[in-house]
Amino acid sequence: MKIKFLIRMEKDKYVKEILKLKKEKNAVILAHNYQLPEIQDIADFVGDSLGLSIEASKTKADIIIFCGVDFMAETAKILNPNKKVLIPEKAICPMAMMLHPEEILSAKEKFKEKNPVVVLYVNTHASCKALSDYACTSANAVKVINSINNDTIIFGPDANLADYVKKHTNKNIIAIPKFGNCPTHHKISVSDVREAKAKYPNAKFIAHPECRKDVLEMADFIGSTEQMIKFVRTSEDKEFIIGTEIGIIHRLRKENPGKKFYPVADTAICPNMKMTTLESVYNALKFERYEINLDKEVMDKARKSIERMIAII
């Protein structure tokens, strides 16, 4: 077995080398709002799943370095089948692992009399997206579903997002699997929110729709990570309790120096989002690893559902 020795350098040296390699190889670095601060700081674009998909669809770069988790890098590859898409660490999304193609096929069969439309959260693997009619993100799930001319919607894998969507549409939403969730958001509890509100009585509580229904009922604002950033930017309030993964607080503090941010729970950390380091980004660029490779037919089918989503917004 060939062992590749990781090259260790000081932080500044990594940054310098990353910028140099990026230019040499005409690469672009896309990073999700939950990435470590130093990764957000070297990225060309930082955003939510929707913003990153749109950015990936527009890029002129030859190589996309995707600092996030597997389904996000897959989405970038689906939208750029002829480009090299690299994920610096093999970071997975546990929620995306909760849905399998067989479950989609059996739900379609079970409800076939109702001619259901399949809408899948972007947090799914390409093999599932290939079986869907539309993709959606937390930023546009309600809009996508309301635009569909059919009453029965098969939706997965996030049951909390499904509950949120049910509240904002008149459609019959069938959640698959029944209890799919994001472990990081699902463990945020009502008592976490109560404690934070007692400690910071002047703060607004903003939450991600992957949180449980009872937690969302306590929120002053609900939205995707980018929508939360926009809400804070335009709000006159000065203090915010953050009901999502704590990585977003780096951007919030950087862009709003006069405002204060408190995580609703110190445990709101997605370990997969924290795997990517400057060292792994450097190695991704230097050794062009780890490349995302997907079956062409799967990509062609999955692309249709992503493009249908992009066309709605």
Q: Is 169 left (phi over 0), alpha (psi -120 to 50) or beta?
A: beta
Contact characters 240-279, ligand SF4, x per CB under 6 A: -----x------------------------x-xx------
| Residue 94 found at the interface with ligand SF4 (CB under 6 A) | yes
| Residue 123 found at the interface with ligand SF4 (CB under 6 A) | yes
How distant is the alpha carbon of residue 127 from its chain centre? 17
Tell me the closest approach of the beta carbon of residue 184 to ligand SF4, in angstroms. Answer: 4
CA distances from 208 to 48, 147, 213 (A): 11, 22, 11
| Residue 160 found at the interface with ligand 13P (CB under 6 A) | no
| Residue 182 found at the interface with ligand 13P (CB under 6 A) | yes
Q: How far apart are the first and last CA of the chain?
A: 48
Token reading at 215? 């937690």
Interface residue with ligand SF4, options 30, 95, 139, 159 (CB under 6 A): 95
| Residue 154 found at the interface with ligand SF4 (CB under 6 A) | no
Residue type, 244: T
Number of residues written out for the chain: 313
Interface residue with ligand 13P, options 138, 181, 272, 280 (CB under 6 A): 138
Q: Which residue, 18 or 306, has its beta carbon nearer to ligand 13P?
A: 306
Burial of 175 (0-12, 13-18, 19+ CB in 10 A): buried
Q: Which residue, 54 or 294, has its beta carbon nearer to ligand 13P?
A: 54
Token reading at 10? 């000081």
Tell me the closest approach of the beta carbon of residue 62 to ligand SF4, in angstroms. Answer: 27
Handedness of CA 143, 147, 150, 155 (dihedral sign): negative
Q: Strand, coil or helix: what is 262?
A: strand
Tell me the closest approach of the beta carbon of residue 143 to ligand 13P, in angstroms. Answer: 14
The entry of ligand SF4, ligand 13P, none near residue 27 (CB within 5 to 8 angstroms by kind) is none
Tell me the closest approach of the beta carbon of residue 269 to ligand SF4, in angstroms. Answer: 9
Distance CA 239, CA 227 (A): 17
Token reading at 195? 């404690």
Contact characters 21-60, ligand 13P, x per CB under 6 A: ------------x--------------xxx----------
| Residue 188 found at the interface with ligand SF4 (CB under 6 A) | no
Tell me the closest approach of the beta carbon of residue 209 to ligand 13P, in angstroms. Answer: 8
CA distances from 51 to 28, 62, 210, 227 (A): 15, 19, 18, 10
CB neighbours of 296 closer than 8 A, spacing ≥ 6? Answer: 81
Contact positions toward ligand 13P, by CB under 6 A?
33, 48-50, 123, 137-138, 182, 208, 210, 224-225
Contact positions toward ligand SF4, by CB under 6 A?
69, 93-95, 123, 182, 184, 210, 245, 270, 272-273
